[in-house]
Amino acid sequence: MGDVEDLKREAGIRACQFVQDGMRLGLGTGSTVRYTILEIGRLVSEDGFKVVGVPTSEATRELAESVGIPLIPISEAGRLDLTIDGADEFDPRFSLIKGGGGALTREKEVALLSDSMIVVADDRKKVEVLGEFDLPIEVKSRHWSDVSTAISSMCEVRVSLRGGELAPYTTDNGGYILDCEFGPTITKPGDLEEKLLSIEGVVQVGLFVGLCDAVVMATGSGVETIVNPVGRLS
């Protein structure tokens, strides 16, 4: 376990190769990108980098503030130079499933504002076809049951309310999360995203298509950077 954590730390730090002085950065959420945020804090405090960050969750905001990264709210961000975030799965076309940490709506909003996006992950997140990890969907709290029924009938998948009805998980936006068990069948994530977003009450879908430009991946033998050949960094 220690080796895995060491590699995640190395990957998180390695992602900072894309960070330049003066950038406006989207700061992601997750256990691996946490090391990226710690390294950005070091760049600010020790190397004098002048960057500003936009956090994708309250947990990230608290961490970034604790290491001295200047922050601005997303409403004031405008365009961002770069977002560094994690992923629950990524496929050979650099499409992602995100939302295991519950921050998918802010994560996507920040990613869409960014000129490029780097994902930090370990090789367990690399899949041939998306969907082994349950797809998170944020919904308006008052509509969760209707949305669950609509998704179940539309896609014939098992849908569960994160946390259960007695104590549902609530996002930073006040929404609920539905976790949808597709299995590894999501071969056209863009089409599925569009279909799910058309359901009344859906706030955001944890499919990120056409946004990831590179993956910094921790493997058992070290850290590998995989650049999207049709991305914005190639």
Task: Tell me the domain boundaries of the chain.
Answer: 2-125+209-222, 135-205
pLDDT at 234: 74
Choosing from 107, 138, 156, 194, the catalytic residue is 107
Q: Fold for domain 2-125+209-222?
A: Rossmann fold (3.40.50)
pLDDT at 2: 55
Say whether domain 135-205 belongs to CATH 3.30.70.260.
Answer: yes
SS3 34: helix
Structural tokens at position 191: 């089409």
Sign of CA dihedral 212, 214, 219, 223: negative
Closest CA to 182 of 134, 122, 230, 124: 134
pLDDT at 156: 83
State how far the Cα of 127 lies from the Cα of 24, in Å rounded to an integer. Answer: 31
pLDDT at 154: 83
pLDDT at 73: 93
Strand residue runs (E) in the chain = 24-27, 52-55, 82-85, 89-90, 96-97, 117-122, 135-139, 158-161, 176-181, 202-205, 207-208, 214-219, 222-227
* 132 noted as active-site residue: no
pLDDT at 209: 98
Task: Flag residues of the chain having pLDDT under 50.
Answer: 1
